[in-house]
Chains A and B, each alone.
Chain A
């Protein structure tokens, strides 16, 4: 049953011997000890488990690990580069765009994918892009502002 799955995880070559039907979320959390990716609903409705797979935002709670063979996976832990936070991480801090923080990794990963595709999103595009990520604390207004700030910074950096 077990197979060896090879993929890139946060820029590092990774190899794991595992039942390929196991779900990426729990493999990340339990085997690979990356707990920044959260369990929220297990059904793809809340977005707390969002990771990037080949730059696309994906709900890791719905994805068998077998599907990521040969692909590039980025989790919230992979955004910081050499001690430098990703502009979105910085902007979330700057805008206090979080309360309990549980949805935050999924929000940031979804926004990261959005800005890779569309570096200058309008407010409406940000709203549309984050629509299926749930936040119960009601931090939405600040999250939008943080994404706008990050977008500005990222363009300036190019």
Chain B
């Protein structure tokens, strides 16, 4: 028995009983022992999930699907994906001598934490969702992240599940020569386009620098591509998704029909990665279908509050995620107000220039009646919209409480977009506002 571990576990269970989660126990553990994470005896199957967008959703889908297949699974379902969160997870899920009590661990790992902890976590499977331009000052350039992940996977002999339609992810297959690579790809469907104004990274072949040729784009730079010079991107996917039906929320993979938890292309990619992983583990992927069908997104992902009219909040972190949220907001032609909460705390990224890479100009449609800019950098957001010619429709209300009240009083359907550190406080305000109507 290890007393330090015991203390951390006790600390965690006290916090849990008080209804508090969080990474404090792991933080304490790592302060007492920087090599804390290395000490654990991991189960036979350890799945690490990383990438820019969709990590939390994908890792939860995987954990639930493995449970559906009869496995006892330990996972960080709330997305505490840094060292301290992972340390907390392992402490809470093991016995007093560092043995993790599960058949499988599914761990969402921050892209930057991955290269530091990769070997310590003894992964058997690595799932990469995608790589996009993220908060640059926090994450460094995407290029650096990819290179670091290439470094730690070059001698990896386990399984790597990659998005074959993402040129940035596919680069890992070029360098992880000892690993077993499994690719997924999604066929042309009703959202696919021949050209795009969204792609920012991945325009050029990583091998030779020649421009990549796309047969179609799904969103951002995700799509079917290849290099005409050296064939990069010409793939034979292990799992190929076809017949995406956004009206009925279904798609087909491996000759079987699946249900998607929301009708969006990125959700289908999340599901495709899960099916590919299941296949690589020799599990029946049909167990995942029940999970896909009933899965509920985490708090702050398309979460509805009932004001005088419905108000729907979504988290945004980077241009690609924002573009997808904007598409969802604009998919119906009813009249609506929009509220954008832009913060620049540590977890949001201090550099707010990413808002200029997101397609906020798409809000310039007659159905969008008013746009409230709020949060610590409300005026930066207002300027972003002003220079798209939306000047007459923007109002700055720096105080979030007042911004939410404004939406309710306007008696119109509304959409709230919030960066990370604004999300939970805003949800609390929206919950209170909702209670006024009960």
B is bound to A: no
